Every structure is written in structure tokens, then in C-alpha cells.
Structure 1
Amino acid sequence: MIDYDKIFNSSEVSEESLSPEEGVAAVAVVTAIADSAVEEVDAEILASILWEFEVFEEYSEDEITEIVDRLIGIAEDEGLCCLFNSASEALSDELVLDGFAAGVIVLIDEEELIIPKEKQPYLKKLQEALKIEDEEAEEIIQEVIAAFQEAENEEYFEDEDEEVYESPSDNFTVPIPVDSQQGGKVQSQEGTVGFSDDFGTLFRIDYYPIPLEQLEELEYADREEYFQSILVDKYVPQAIVANVPNAQVKYSEYLEDIMMGSYFVLVDMPHGSTISQQENNGTASRLNAYRGLLGFINADFLYIVSSQRSFLKDENPGSLEEEVEDMKERILEFVETIEFT
């Protein structure tokens, strides 16, 4: 058994002083390292745990990660006893219980929602070192377990309520990204599905099976030329310009590192939005919009995933660079929700 007295009964203190908030983080770091090696501790995971604490509400996750990295460095250079004693000195009376809670969260088994038996001796030593009464300690443990249980319940009900669209070709499923209470609609026909609502949200997936012989040819073909011929030369004229005559491609780019090679296109669509705005004379006219397209291949299907950004009557687009990056991000976030089968 590890001798925890070496951590908690030492008089050594780090030369680096800590703030009260850093003291809370230091308890978590000491707890994470106590039964493992320093190099096994993941600073980003610890930071994401600590970010949930109210005492860190003014910190960004990057700032907390920097704090955790610094504390791990102290533990590595000076030892856990130095780091814990500095944490103990730094913790104000109001934050001692938060420090203990940070230790509890690190130790808890998230599946069983218990403190594993082998971790209990450490937790008892931590409790004694922080001079926390048994009743208070048990109350904190139960509060942490209850918080985990509540988070699990929320995730369960979110999953239960989530509606999923299943492609009739059995090649993908995707959570429906629009809400029926906001006018959300799903329009599907062979080879395409669109999701839209009354607020201008639009996501569309077009998909085409690729014959085996063409797939074999694509192994040796120039992917950039292939996608350009599909999106710019065929899809944009047939699916967009045919309905919005003044539409034109504003930007195109081959993305070698995304989806093993993909092609992005931004199309300017004057009066081509899926939503309209009321004019002063009572008539309604369609808003201007940008349409982003991302073409890629998955398994034996060609996919063209698109989204829309509409502009109100007096609203102007940002710079082309900004609009391109925003649209790319929007489409890629949606693509990440698609489960290909």
C-alpha cells in the first residue's frame, strides 16, 4: 500500500505560492498523481473537470489547463508533499470544502458512482489533512455523486428525446437538426434530405451511389478535378443556378485533410434564401443568402452536404474570408453528427 503519510505529514512547502483557486486545483492534481505517475496525468482532462467548479467560472478552460500544467510541474520538480502543503496554506476557509470536493471528483468511479475501495484510504487521509469533519466529508461525497447522477440523467433524456433521420439507402443516420416547434421540416426524396425551419436554418444532404468501376478509377484520378467537375460544373448550375439565376460561385477550395479529401464551395445567392422578409408595401421577397457546399466520398457514396446563411434586408456579409470560415465550420460541425453505415 502506498504510504500517504509522506504526502500529508511533511513540513516541506513549495517555493512557489498559490492563489486560493490554484489551491483547489492543486488538491485535484495531488489526488490524480498520488496513485500513478506524473506523466500519466492528463492536464486537459483535469482542467475540464475543474472548469465545472464555481470558483473557476471566471477562467477559460485554456487558463485552467495552464494552471494545471504549472501545478504538475511543481509536483514533478518538488514532490507531492510540497504541492499539497502549498495548497493547504493557500486554501481559504471558504474553499477548503471545494478542495476536498476536487479530490472526490478525481477519485469517483463514474460508472458505479462510488469511491472505489482501494481509493478510500487516500480520501480519508485527505479529509484529515484538510481538517474536515466526517459528517461534512460524507455530505460532500454524496453531493458529488448526486451531481454525476443528475448529469447522467440529463444525458439519458436528451438521447431519448433526440429524433434521428435514417437514410432509406441505409448509408447514414443523422440527428434531426431542426425543431418542429420552430417550424422545423424534414423533406426527403430519393438521394436527398433537407432540414429547414422558419428561422432560416438549412442543412441538406445529397448522396449518390458510386459504381464500383468508377470507384476504382477514382483511386488514380485527381480528386480535386473530380470534385470541381461535380460541384462547380454540374451541381451548382443544376441545383442552384436553375432556381436562382443570379447565383454565382464566390469561393472554392480543395480540402486535402478533411474527409480524406473534400471540396468546399461558397455560392452567392441573391434573393435565394429559403426564407422571406416582408416589404413596406406588404409583399414578401426572398432574402439574400450564401450557400456552402462540401463534397466528399464515404464508402461507395458521393455526398454533397450544404448549409445556408441568410442576410436580413439591411445586413451585409462579412469579409469573404470570414464568411468562408464560418460556413466551413457550420457544415463540418453538422457532418460530425452524421453516422455513416
Structure 2
Amino acid sequence: MSRMRVACVLGQFVALLQISHSLLLGAFNIRTFGDTKASNVTLMNIISMIVHRYDIILIQERGGEEKEEEGKEERKEEERRGEEKEKEGEGKGEERRGEERRGEERRGERGEERRGEERRGTEHRNTHKKYDAQSLQRGRRGSPPFRYSFIVSEPLGRSSYKERYLFLYREDTVSVAKNYTYDDGCEPCGTDTFNREPFVVMFSSKHTAVENFVLIPQHTSPNSAVKEIDALYDVVVDVRHRWKTNDILLLGDFNAGCNYVTRSEWQQIRLFTDKSFHWLITDDEDTTVTHTICPYDRIVVTADMMGGVVPHSAAVYDYMVDLNLIHSLALAVSDHFPVEVNLIGRSFLSE
């Protein structure tokens, strides 16, 4: 066997070892995740299986109040504005139709609807309490159930429709060290930056090479995605000053692509132009369940945190394929796929 072949095999072996000892993070925008969806046994069963892939998962569009219908109207208005913006660009309409055709061809029909044991999930609203998560006890395939805790933000949003950032995490692998909600200005004065300001959380794990790391979640408003993604740079600066760390990951539905962030607008985003930040979910990815091909959901890490990430582990989790769901059922769960990344495990480094 040639030296090049040996090096290749060893490289693959090391990569497998890193993943086997790693901690998996995810971010999932569960469209209008309120009481209506939580009461649907079939959907909650699927969501539970998805959640159980992760050691930590950020859930977005968790309804802060019983305002789901208003939330749907807000989403429609944002989509309408996005469509108007798209029409302003030359050739954007034809380009998007081409993307939809390619997406439709790529997706096709992907299996029959999964039928299995159904269990209703339990909904919680309290901040940083034990999360017994009866609906999550199915566990990963072939594994025992895990006990999850959670930490959740206050309801966030400028209008009567509000959302919460919800982090679910495995008690046996991670814990919450500290948290705060970023102050982006005066909402009543109209000087705030984010529609849903980041709820910043520092996690601690004895199982990872980077023991303490910060997660900055963000679900942007589509019609102000460029402004909000750029402002995440200021959040990073604030975290560095406040907690004296640069082990930071930013994740969530940034609406970072297609008609919401055009090619020319990327130069207005400091998080992109500053090359010390690494965009792990690239422009070539598709994070949508619909027939569009758009990289809305992203994971971005600082230079220091990059050393704690398993190389090439960032990915889009296509639960429609993995769980063998028909398209309509997958879309009923959400119009987004989760994005994920592995953190290098400490046990791997010590072996």
C-alpha cells in the first residue's frame, strides 16, 4: 500500500474517531411551533426523534404567547416583502424558477410515511428548569433514553407576535454556565436592531476539547436579514468584552441567502467580510424542505472555536430522507431542515 493511500486511510480513521467522541450541536427552525403543533401526536413524535440526535439543539419559532395566527400573518407579510425585493433585481425571477425546478428534481418522492409508536410531547415555558421531556424519551436509534434540561428566553419580538429561543441539552454531557439577553436598543423608541435579539448562552462540557463555549442564536426577520446578520458582529464583540472568551458559535435561521441576502449585499455584512469568522454551512447548501434551494440556516464560528470543531462535520440534516417521510409530512413538521456540527471530544485528545 502506497504512503499516500496509508495517509488517506489514517485520515479517514482519525475523522471517524473524532466524530465518535464528539458532541453534536444543532439549530432547528420549527415553523410556528406553538400549541397547535405541540398537540399533534404524529408531528411531535417526529420532532422528538430529530431532537434526540443532539447533545444541544436550538429551537426557533417557539411561540412566546398564544399568537400563532398573528405569527402566520407576520410571516406572510415578510414573505411578500421578500418577493418584492426579489423582483427588483435583474433576472432574479428566472433564476429562482430555475432553483425551484432543480430542487423539485432533486427531491422527488422520497419514501412512504413513517408509522410508529406515537407519544405526545409536553410543552414548557419556564426559564432554566428541569425538562423531563416525555416526548423525547424515545432516544437515538438503539440507544437508551436521555434526560434533557432546557433554557429558554423571554418572549421576543416587536409586535404582538413573539418567539422564544429554546435550547434543549443533555444533562449527562453539558450544563449551562451563564446567559444573558443582548441589549440592542430601545424598542419603543424604534432604535433597536433585532426583531428577536439574541439570547446568549455559555455552555460547559467536560466531554469537549473546548470546555466552555458560547452559543449566539439568531432568527432574523427576512426583510431586514442583512442588517441583523451584520449586527451579530456587535454581539460577538459584546460577548468577548463581557465574558473574556472567543470560543463562540453563531447559529440559527439567518435567512442568509436567495432573495433575502443578494450577492452584492454580502459585502455589507462584517460577519462575512471579517475572515476570522468561518461559515460552516456554505452558500451551496439547501436548508429548506420546500422546493427552493436556499441556505437560510447557518452556523458560524470564531477562529478560536474553529479549533474545537470536527473538520468537515457541519451539515444539513435531511430528516425527510433519514426518517423516510413523504414530502407533505416533512413540510408539516417544518419548512426548514436542522443544521448541525460536531465539537471535538476531550476523550479523543487524551487517547
Shorter chain as denominator, the TM-score bin is under 0.3
Q: Which has the higher contact order (CA 8 A, sep 6+)?
A: 2
Higher helix share: 1
Tell me the TM-score normalised to structure 1 length: 0.24
